[in-house]
Amino acid sequence: MTGELGRRERKKRQTREALIRAANRLVAERGFDEVTAAEIAEAADVSPRTFFLHFDAKEDVLLGDARLNTDAGIAAIEARDPADPPRTTLAHAAAAMIASAPSGDALSWLGARARLIFGSEQVRARLMQRLLAGQEELTEALRRAYPDLDGLEARALVGSVIGGATFAVGSVVVAVLDDGGDEDRVRDAIRLALQIATQSGPPRTP
Amino acid sequence: MTGELGRRERKKRQTREALIRAANRLVAERGFDEVTAAEIAEAADVSPRTFFLHFDAKEDVLLGDARLNTDAGIAAIEARDPADPPRTTLAHAAAAMIASAPSGDALSWLGARARLIFGSEQVRARLMQRLLAGQEELTEALRRAYPDLDGLEARALVGSVIGGATFAVGSVVVAVLDDGGDEDRVRDAIRLALQIATQSGPPRTP
DNA sequence: CCCCTAGGTGCAGTGACTATAACTGTACAG
DNA sequence: CTGTACAGTTATAGTCACTGCACCTAGGGG
């Protein structure tokens, strides 16, 4: 067992990569709805059945690994500044989840793929669903970090911050893309949305 | 043309009501995934095709009218207290949207149907998707109410508050239902989640 | 060299959703 | 009262996402 991967594992990855590459190309050319899963498989030169052995849903081929988002969020919670209140910690977690990328600069990755991900209502919805699914684990992580927190309160906090950040980012990205915005403007918009979503609160207290 | 509806319209409503009743009964008995759209149509004594003429998706038969949610939110924004900042106004809108009911006491209605709506991941996801779809109109309403607000900022604010409230409520409702909670506990949990989601904000400034 | 296993394949099936064309009762004009 | 336009419904026949199953083949361990 060295760090190297066996031939089997390498071939599996090749197949997966081929599917991702084919999907990105076809969807960029024709749009998500105009491409069938079978076509993606065909373009990657594998059987249609194989597509669904690698991805749980057609949308997932554009979204990377779901664990990645959740793990990034959990890591951010565990790396919290002990002085921060839960909401602030969660704000960092939300930013980490939304920007989590396979490698390299996260916001660049997201900016470049924003058109693919947010260009279809279905893919957007699937992304939301996946972030939602990760909430349970995030709540556990938050309660570990703040043992005094009530269970329902923790859930509400996690949902509030994660959901808020996700919707805020989704909304501005779609708007910028509809306006013909390029990768840079998408990145700036994401930053703005995260800032607004996580600063929160009425200015002072009237 | 009095306030009365013609026979045609009445029959259409009867069909729709029959579908909703059949769906509620079957789903309560067997769960959302174990009921096909064709079965609901059969139980309502209409053709499967008719089902999809009344509802865009199988999930929608449990969710009422999408316009209802959006309109309730817009109404809340238009009825704002001029002294409130945008975020506070949006908090009211979010509460109105989530609790909007066909008639009568909203939270009771939601509490009673929570098991049906939040009992299936698919239905939950569809609800989120619909709330998301209404964001554009809410943003317009918000900008009408606060003309100085920047477009992207308005979007981020709407997404942040609506998404936050939705995820928070969804999360706690599922938790309470999983715990075997009854209608009353669901109502209380919704109230708590809305409060946490809309109070927001780290104590002061970082 | 052999055997077990995991990735991949082919096939047949389920179920959501749709396009199309036809049918039926209602409304309404004349 | 009658002809006609049209909305709601229907039957038919799809398309497409996704799944279960039996099978094949190649990797990798012994």
- Within 8 A of B124 by CB-CB distance, chain A residues are 132
Structure tokens at B172: 């706690």
The class that CATH gives domain A63-206 is: mainly alpha
Question: Are the beta carbons of B122 and A133 closer than 8 angstroms?
Answer: no
Select from A132, A171, A193 the Cβ nearest to the Cβ of B167: A132
Percentage of chain B modeled with pLDDT above 90: 70
pTM of the model: 0.89
Looking at this protein, which amino acid is placed at residue B177?
L
Between the two ends of chain A, the Cα-to-Cα distance in Å is: 63
Distance from CA of B168 to the nearest CA of A (A): 4
- For A164-193, the three-class secondary structure string (H helix, E strand, C coil) is HHHHHHHHHHHHHHHCCCCHHHHHHHHHHH
Per-residue pLDDT for chain A (206 aa), expressed as one digit of tens each?
Answer: 445 678 999 999 999 999 999 999 999 999 999 999 999 999 999 999 999 999 999 999 999 888 888 999 999 999 999 999 999 999 999 989 887 766 666 677 777 888 999 999 999 999 888 888 889 999 999 999 999 999 999 999 999 999 999 999 999 999 999 999 898 999 999 999 999 998 754 444 43
Contact B159 A168 (CB under 8 A): yes
At residue B194, φ and ψ (nearest 5 deg) are -60, -40
Q: Chain D positions under 7 Å from a protein CB?
A: 7-13, 15-21, 26-29
As a rounded value in angstroms, the CA-to-C1' distance for A142 and C21 is 59
- Within 8 A of B167 by CB-CB distance, chain A residues are 132, 135, 159-160, 162-164, 166
Select from B129, B189, B199 the Cβ nearest to the Cβ of A125: B129
Confidence of residue B123 (pLDDT cuts 50, 70, 90): very high
User: Phi-psi category of A204—alpha, beta or left, where left has phi over 0 and alpha has psi -120 to 50?
Assistant: beta
B126: closest chain A residue by CA: A125
As a rounded value in angstroms, the CA-to-C1' distance for B38 and D9 is 15
- Tell me the nt nearest to B52, Cα to C1': C17
Would B1-58 and B63-206 be classified into the same CATH topology? no
Please name the residue that has the structure tokens 């970090």. Answer: A145
- Within 8 A of A171 by CB-CB distance, chain B residues are 132, 135, 139, 155-156, 158-159
Q: What tens digit of pLDDT does each residue of B144-160 get? A: 999 999 999 999 999 99
* Domain locations along chain A: 1-58, 63-206
Residues B43-70, buried b or exposed e (16+ Cβ, 10 A)?
A: bbebeeeebeebbeebbbbbbbebeebb
Assigned CATH for A1-58 = 1.10.10.60
Distance from CA of B85 to the nearest CA of A (A): 7
Burial of B10 (0-12, 13-18, 19+ CB in 10 A): exposed
